[in-house]
């Protein structure tokens, strides 16, 4: 009998002790995994997470270092486990899963679930999820912009039993490892995951022996209920209404068609519903999310906006309801590609933030890099000719926010302790590569009253005879947005230098599949900056001076973006005041006019301008403008010249007016969005002119 619990209510001190014990166990799991794993994606990038679920599949604990993108989908995996193997789960069983269509993320993320029994009762589900550097497929690293379905991305593992009552299924592991490149590393990671799960089991047994299973269950119930009420109280503080925003991802291939994520956030008391109706259909590329992806993204951004310091468990998710249209890129009905799910999920998060921006100005930030930026250099080692796979996810700047500038070269504030950068020493010790430059990228942070964080630049020289480059990335054409009048950050850029020539492989920037490299080629990654927060002309002059001293911006950027005149080592404050006054006076504003006949091809959100108005801001058909109200995130629209457009007005459809958060005859500012020239811009212009 459990001597610690006489009722379902446990004293608060015991509740806190058990909560901290659970988190401590997860921390130990994480520490063991980082030290025992074989692949640099784990040891250097920390691309893994651990968690503890209860016997009903409810998330109880993760650590501050774990990534909710990894952990929350585990709830879907646990649901699959409990449904598929109901009544057939035994002590010593261990299960594997990575299938995005049944709750996984992308194929590289493999999870190990190790049910723990106390006597004859299943009590916990310790879980480890790890990004495997390769799981097979058409490209080394198993991510490719050329993939058209998930079969080309590697081995798809449904929820399967890998150990039965403690006995390993060697045939299963033989099949899996035979389909993965560098199988000895993959097997080493598997063993590290299994050992980590067993550590969790031992620590949980000790916890139950000390407090009793009934006490632990009662504490878990209170922790989940308490987290739910905490989240509900945060939601209730948002004015009850519907808020909507739409974000466009980069175009794909030669179609030049951006993917659209539209989010309507409906707040009703202490509950919140997100409806993604209007989002682009599923695509044959790798830019799709499985059923766990959208709920995970919604949870991550809302937790960051509403309750940064509270616990993360299944209780925090209870007030949220998510609808994803079947057949959309957020709810595919076929085995499409999922390798770029990190890009989709991050854009989804920024769509939610854009929707809530008008009523959460104290909490929002400029957009982060909104992409996983997956980059793979692969080839053969020089001495033994054994294959190597160098996987990196270059970080970028985070957005500026009310209190401070964004952070430089950071993955994102929504994640846990992911390594921002693999160290130079680790790369050069393991791979036939030499890092020749690693620095912050000047002028990359979005200008604003609070500046967006800077991206970085890395140059890597290939030392082996032949190699290949694969990049799966977003925000190379459409840069991260600023908020409350802040400017966009610089877009990502991946290119190759061979001798004196620099090339950007692929039809669309950031979409590179197995591009051949030769010895002494230099792969250059320049990551995006975060979006700015607030009007750049209102930035404190001393902050601009500090940026100049640090080399974060140059004098031209200070003058053009912040209206600060700097010469001979000092700021000319009189000239700065005059320049800022002139710059504000020259800003062009337009009144909004409704046009129900306005339409665009391939999901391009279109605004109409007559030739005179377009000339005043230097745009033409096919260019992109940001519609700025100063009250949230900007709505991006593709310009189409229209003779019938009223003078001094921008014509918008009724839907566009709603997304911009304005009514007819409102005053808005149009700001041209400069994007890299190329195939996309040419096709945009041609298609819009054809509709004129």
In SS3 terms, 466-496 reads as EEEEEEECCCCCCCCCCECCCCCCCCCEEEE
Distance CA 377, CA 368 (A): 25
Average pLDDT, the chain: 93
The model's pLDDT over 246-280, given as tens digits with 9 standing for 90+, comes to 999 998 865 678 999 999 999 999 999 999 999 99
**pLDDT attached to residue 674:** 84
**pLDDT attached to residue 254:** 57
Average pLDDT, integer, range 369-374: 91
List the one residue out of 333, 158, 145, 360 whose CA is nearest residue 245.
360
Distances (CA, A) of 512 to 55, 74, 397, 516, 529: 43, 30, 22, 10, 21
Distances (CA, A) of 389 to 214, 386, 430, 474, 683: 48, 10, 10, 22, 35
Question: Binning pLDDT at 50, 70 and 90, where does residue 3 land?
Answer: very low
Least confident of 118-122, 366-370, 411-415: 411-415
**pLDDT attached to residue 2:** 44
3-class secondary-structure state, position 89: coil
List the one residue out of 353, 551, 557, 555 whose CA is nearest residue 447.
557
Angle (nearest 5°) at CA 321 between 316 and 325: 140
Q: How many CB atoms lie within 10 A of CB 241?
A: 11
**pLDDT attached to residue 4:** 41
**Is 278 buried (19+), middle (13-18) or exposed (0-12) by CB count in 10 A?**
middle
Are 75 and 59 within 8 A, CB to CB? yes
**pLDDT attached to residue 677:** 67
3-class secondary-structure state, position 123: strand
Where is 262: in which H helix or E strand? strand 260-268
The token duo for 4 is 């610690």
The token duo for 566 is 């700097």
Q: Is 534 left (phi over 0), alpha (psi -120 to 50) or beta?
A: left
List the one residue out of 442, 479, 480 whose CA is nearest residue 556.
442
Distance CA 411, CA 147 (A): 25
The token duo for 509 is 């920037």
Total residue length of the chain = 692
Are 466 and 379 within 8 A, CB to CB? yes
The token duo for 351 is 């769509």
Question: Binning pLDDT at 50, 70 and 90, where does residue 6 land?
Answer: very low
Distance CA 544, CA 422 (A): 30
List the one residue out of 194, 201, 204, 205 whose CA is nearest residue 36.
194
Q: What are phi and psi of 376, to 5 degrees?
A: -130, 125
**pLDDT attached to residue 416:** 62
The model's pLDDT over 10-61, given as tens digits with 9 standing for 90+, comes to 899 999 999 999 999 999 999 999 999 999 999 988 899 999 999 999 999 9
pLDDT at position 1 over 50: no
pLDDT at position 417 over 70: no
Q: Is 613 left (phi over 0), alpha (psi -120 to 50) or beta?
A: alpha
Average pLDDT, integer, range 482-510: 94
Q: What are phi and psi of 272, to 5 degrees?
A: -140, 130
Distance CA 332, CA 281 (A): 8
The model's pLDDT over 289-312, given as tens digits with 9 standing for 90+, comes to 999 999 999 999 999 999 988 888
Q: Which residue has the tokens 């806190």?
A: 16
Distance CA 404, CA 667 (A): 29
pLDDT at position 242 over 60: yes
The token duo for 661 is 């958060």
Quote the percentage of the chain above a pLDDT of 70.
97
Quote the percentage of the chain above a pLDDT of 90.
85
pLDDT at position 7 over 60: no
Average pLDDT, integer, range 472-500: 96
- Our measurement of the distance from residue 549's CA atom to the centroid of its chain's CA atoms, rounded to an integer in Å, reads 32
Distance CA 134, CA 140 (A): 6
In a 13 Å sphere around the CA of 115, the CA atoms on its Cβ side amount to 33
**pLDDT attached to residue 8:** 66
The model's pLDDT over 654-668, given as tens digits with 9 standing for 90+, comes to 999 999 999 999 999
Longest Cα–Cα distance in the chain: 84
3-class secondary-structure state, position 294: helix
Q: Which residue has the tokens 């032949």?
A: 466
3-class secondary-structure state, position 13: helix
The token duo for 514 is 């197995």
- Domain architecture of the chain: domains with CATH: 12-229 (no CATH), 366-539 (no CATH), 541-585 (no CATH), 589-691 (2.40.40.20)
Distances (CA, A) of 407 to 314, 344, 398, 417: 30, 22, 5, 15
Angle (nearest 5°) at CA 411 between 408 and 416: 125
Distance CA 151, CA 141 (A): 14
- Sign of torsion over alpha carbons 613, 615, 621, 624: negative
- Our measurement of the distance from residue 307's CA atom to the centroid of its chain's CA atoms, rounded to an integer in Å, reads 19
Q: What are phi and psi of 184, to 5 degrees?
A: -65, -35
């Amino acid at each position: 009998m459990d001597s610690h619990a006489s009722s379902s209510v446990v004293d608060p001190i015991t509740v806190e002790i058990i909560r901290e014990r659970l988190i401590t166990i997860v921390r130990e799991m994480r520490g063991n995994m980082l030290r025992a794993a074989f692949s640099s994606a784990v040891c250097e990038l920390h691309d893994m997470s651990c968690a503890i679920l209860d016997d009903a599949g409810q998330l109880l604990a993760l650590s501050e270092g774990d990534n909710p993108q990894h952990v929350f989908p585990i709830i879907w995996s646990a649901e699959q486990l409990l449904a598929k193997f109901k009544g057939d789960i035994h002590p010593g069983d261990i299960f594997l899963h990575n299938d995005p269509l049944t709750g996984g993320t992308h194929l590289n993320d493999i999870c190990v679930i190790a049910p723990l029994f106390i006597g004859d009762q299943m009590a916990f589900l310790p879980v480890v999820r790890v990004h495997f550097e390769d799981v097979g497929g058409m490209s080394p690293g198993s991510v490719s912009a050329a993939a058209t379905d998930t079969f080309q991305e590697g081995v798809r593992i449904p929820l399967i039993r890998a150990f039965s009552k403690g006995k390993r299924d060697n045939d299963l592991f033989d099949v899996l490892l035979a389909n993965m490149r560098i199988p000895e590393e993959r097997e080493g990671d598997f063993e590290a995951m299994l050992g980590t799960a067993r550590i969790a089991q031992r620590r949980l047994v000790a916890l139950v022996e000390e407090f009793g299973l009934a006490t632990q269950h009662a504490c878990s119930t209170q922790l989940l209920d308490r987290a739910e009420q905490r989240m509900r109280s945060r939601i209730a503080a948002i004015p009850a209404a519907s808020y909507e925003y739409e974000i466009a991802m980069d175009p794909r291939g030669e179609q030049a068609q951006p993917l659209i994520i539209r989010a309507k956030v409906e707040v009703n008391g202490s509950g919140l519903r997100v409806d993604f109706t209007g989002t682009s259909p599923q695509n044959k590329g790798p830019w799709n999310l499985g059923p766990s992806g959208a709920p995970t993204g919604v949870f991550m951004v809302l937790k960051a906006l509403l309750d940064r310091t509270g616990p993360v468990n299944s209780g925090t998710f209870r007030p949220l309801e998510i609808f994803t249209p079947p057949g959309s890129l957020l709810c595919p009905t076929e085995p499409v590609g999922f390798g770029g799910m990190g890009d989709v999920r991050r854009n989804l998060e920024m769509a939610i933030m854009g929707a809530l921006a008008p009523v959460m100005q104290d909490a929002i930030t400029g957009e982060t890099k909104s992409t996983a930026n997956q980059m793979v250099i692969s080839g053969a080692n020089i001495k033994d000719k054994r294959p190597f796979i160098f996987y990196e996810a270059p970080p970028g700047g985070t957005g500026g926010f009310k209190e401070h500038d964004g952070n430089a070269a950071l993955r994102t504030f929504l994640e846990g302790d992911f390594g921002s950068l693999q160290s130079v020493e680790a790369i050069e010790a393991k791979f036939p590569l030499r890092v020749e430059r690693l620095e912050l990228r000047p002028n990359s942070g979005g200008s604003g009253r609070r500046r967006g964080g800077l991206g970085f630049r890395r140059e890597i020289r290939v030392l082996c005879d032949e190699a290949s480059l694969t990049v799966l990335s977003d925000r190379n054409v459409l840069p991260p947005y600023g908020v409350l009048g802040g400017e966009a950050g610089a877009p990502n850029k991946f290119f190759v230098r061979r001798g004196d020539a620099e090339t950007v492989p692929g039809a669309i920037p950031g979409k590179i599949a197995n591009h051949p490299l030769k010895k002494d080629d230099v792969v250059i990654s320049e990551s995006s900056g975060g979006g700015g927060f607030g009007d750049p002309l209102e930035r404190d002059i001393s902050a601009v001076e500090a940026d100049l001293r640090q080399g974060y911006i140059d004098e031209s950027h200070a003058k053009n973006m912040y209206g600060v005149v700097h010469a001979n080592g000092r700021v000319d404050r009189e000239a700065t005041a005059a320049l800022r006054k002139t710059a504000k006076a020259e800003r062009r504003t337009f009144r909004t006019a409704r046009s129900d006949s306005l339409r665009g091809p391939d999901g391009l959100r279109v605004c109409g301008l007559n030739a005179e108005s377009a000339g005043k801001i230097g745009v033409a058909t096919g260019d992109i403008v940001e519609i700025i109200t100063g009250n949230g995130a900007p709505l991006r629209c593709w310009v189409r010249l229209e003779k019938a457009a009223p003078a001094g007005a921008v014509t918008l459809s009724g839907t566009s007016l709603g997304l911009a958060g304005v009514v007819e005859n409102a005053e808005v500012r149009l700001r041209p969005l400069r994007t890299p020239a190329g195939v996309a811009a040419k096709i945009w212009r041609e298609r819009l002119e054809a509709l004129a």
